[in-house]
Amino acid sequence: MNPATLDTDVSTNLKTTFALQRRHASAMALTTAADRIDRLKRLQQWVLSNEQAIQQAMYADFRKPAPEVTLAEIYAVNSELKFIIRNLKQWMKPQRVPTPLSMVGTTGYIRHEPKGNVLIIAPWNYPFSLMVKPLLAAIAAGNVAMLKPSELTPNTAALLKRMVSEVFPPEEVALFEGDASVAQALLELPFNHIFFTGSPAVGRIVMTAAARHLASVTLELGGKSPAIVDETASITEAAGQIAWGKYLNNGQTCIAPDYLLVHESVKAPFLDAFQKAIQRMYNPDGRGIEVSDSYARIVNRRHFERVRHLIEEAVEKGATVRVGGQTNEAGNFIEPTVLEGVTPDMQVMQEEIFGPVLPVVTYRDKAEVTQHVNAGEKPLALYIHSRNQKNINYFLENTSAGDTVINDTMLQFSHPHIPFGGVNNSGIGKSNGYFGFQEFSNQRGVVRRDFGTFKFIYPPYTDKVRKLIHALMKYF
Ligand code: NAD
């Protein structure tokens, strides 16, 4: 964990690459939209011609089903690529701003200039897209970048390394495999911006390190994201949508519905529909969920034990397993599980679950919902399932969350016009499309004097000047 324990060769290599990139940053800053689009197209070409290799790497890492790789990793990257390529020229144009009366005689505009040397640290759960999507934004904004993938998905990390070395020269983009010690050594370097995706605990470490150089940060973190199902919700639809969002990637999705807040009048039909949705998706032929090739696995033994412990501890404290509950440590398999009768003292209701377990909390009055949500950290995602606009407004107005989807789940991640990200404990800063481009850019304000003067308010502060300053206050 300590950079001092890092191999001296690795540490020297990081510093040398950083210096190389720093020297190159000003050349990258001068690249045109066409230059950057060339780079993005080269990357796109690599991604599209390596679909199978990407699928194989993630299957080897945690049996991620190939269609899920295509959807949440390759499609996610390719649709973002297309969107950036289409819009980059426009985003890079200086943006004129209006001139207020007090500024008559000037013109103002905003230039997006690259932040410079950026660091991107990625997690393991979507190990390809959560590394490549920020990289696209970094390149679009004209930065040089150093990358650190997660050590928990080594096959994908090795493939990403090959991708970077085949597509970019090291003075533009360089990737370093390794664990937290490599991340910490990177965090010692004076980057201009750090884009981190991972847990809130490590997010704090990253922000502390960034403070040493006053580097700006984007923190894409996690936490407990609730799904609310009110008494007016379309039960079958909501059950299918929540089951899909929950069990995709085996529940290891930062924006997965973490727990359910369901109106007591619809709890029974909802849970019936939810159980049916699980069977439909993962056991359509009755051969058992464990043999389904549509169901991923927990990434490693440590996380398997952690999630199993969450179920066991909840049951010991009085919760009941309504659905699933079976585990098999050979293969890190945990069945899609639903827990009833959960209470706030259970760990499953305190920490981000990050696994295929859905605790169910019932409510009678919608104020109970907002009290429950507001008692915890602000979530990354909050899902509302309702057909009553007043209820929807109430939940939106009385809570705060990074993003909200109404009557579906997960859509916010792939919507290029929606700022994706958290708030406080669930994150700082936003990504997707233009928001990602902005995150990696310094919005440099430029005001040009075309005619006129402010000389009349310069010292000495005679009575006349004082009156003019008061007049300015009054009229502008
Ligand atoms: P993590 O925080 O353990 O690791 C993320 C990265 O940080 C890895 O590359 C890891 O090597 C590095 N790291 C670990 N310890 C470190 C340390 N002490 N110092 C510096 N770097 C360190 O997260 P994870 O387990 O890979 O991912 C799961 C978490 O990420 C969950 O909380 C999830 O909600 C969150 N997440 C958020 C998003 C989002 O977009 N908001 C997306 C995916 C995952």
Q: 457 or 6: whose pLDDT is higher?
A: 457
Statement to judge: residues 440 and 381 lie in one domain:
no
CATH code: domain of residue 259: 3.40.309.10
Neighbour count for residue 290 (Cβ, 10 Å): 15
Statement to judge: residues 230 and 207 lie in one domain:
no
In a domain, 470, yes or no: no
Residue 251 Cα to ligand 1 middle (Å): 15
Counting ligand 1 atoms within 8 A of each CB, the residue from 150, 255, 414, 425 with the most, and so the one to mutate, is 150
Q: Is residue 368 pLDDT above 80, yes or no?
A: yes
Print the domain residue range for 254: 226-414
Residue 197 Cα to ligand 1 middle (Å): 6
In a domain, 391, yes or no: yes
Statement to judge: residues 336 and 361 lie in one domain:
yes
* pLDDT more than 70, % of the chain: 99
Q: What total of structural domains would you count in the chain?
A: 2
In a domain, 26, yes or no: yes
d(CA 331, CA 62): 9
Statement to judge: residues 211 and 231 lie in one domain:
no
Neighbour count for residue 316 (Cβ, 10 Å): 9
CATH code: domain of residue 176: 3.40.605.10
pLDDT of residue 213: 97
Statement to judge: residues 209 and 236 lie in one domain:
no
Does any ligand 1 atom lie closer than 6 A to the CB of residue 335? no
In a domain, 455, yes or no: no
Statement to judge: residues 337 and 410 lie in one domain:
yes
Statement to judge: residues 215 and 236 lie in one domain:
no
Q: Rounded to the nearest 5 degrees, what angle is found at the Cα of 119, between the Cα atoms of 210 and 140?
A: 125
The confidence band for 5, taking pLDDT boundaries of 50, 70 and 90, is low
- pLDDT tens track for 46-68: 999 999 999 999 999 999 999 99
d(CA 286, CA 462): 91
Give the residue numbers marked as catalytic. 220
Statement to judge: residues 36 and 143 lie in one domain:
yes
- pLDDT tens track for 451-476: 999 999 999 999 999 999 999 888 88
Statement to judge: residues 53 and 153 lie in one domain:
yes
